[in-house]
Structure 1
Amino acid sequence: MLLRSLDAKGTFMDNITPGLPIICTDDLIFAHAEGVEHNYVRTAPMPDGQRHYIPLEIVGRVGDGVYLTVSSEELRKML
């Protein structure tokens, strides 16, 4: 399993591919990635039909999922 941490240049952006689960620190799958746009992970449409934009600065690593450094509660407050 490939795991890459964010370096100063954010080079793991290419590893964020459509369909990867976006996982919070409390192990909740918040959404699935649709892609990267500017400095954000764009989610696939949520049940309400909306896409959300998650700052790359809170991505801790990318492997079999996009692992965030915040809990689901903290993430909801950011969005």
Structure 2
Amino acid sequence: MKARGVSLDHSMWFHRHLRADDWVLFVIFSPTSSNARGYVTGQMLNQKGELLVSVVQEGLMREVISANSAIKSNL
């Protein structure tokens, strides 16, 4: 089965200064998914355990229907 996904909504909150070349732990939690929609939260923490960034995202996943299963036109 092939699936296609799209982001419906996402947000990021920056709580502290973040260096892109520094060590960062990214913790992801998916509390629910239903009816082809998923909800994910995440936290980015530094080595001291301080919260750097909070993130949330809602996504939609649908099965890709192949062209072979579609009714072909006679035109």
> Shorter-normalised TM-score: what interval?
under 0.3
**Larger % of strand: which?**
2
What TM-score comes out, normalization by structure 2 length?
0.25
What TM-score comes out, normalization by structure 1 length?
0.24
Q: Which has the larger radius of gyration?
A: 2
Higher relative contact order (CA 8 A, sep 6+): 2
**Larger % of helix: which?**
1
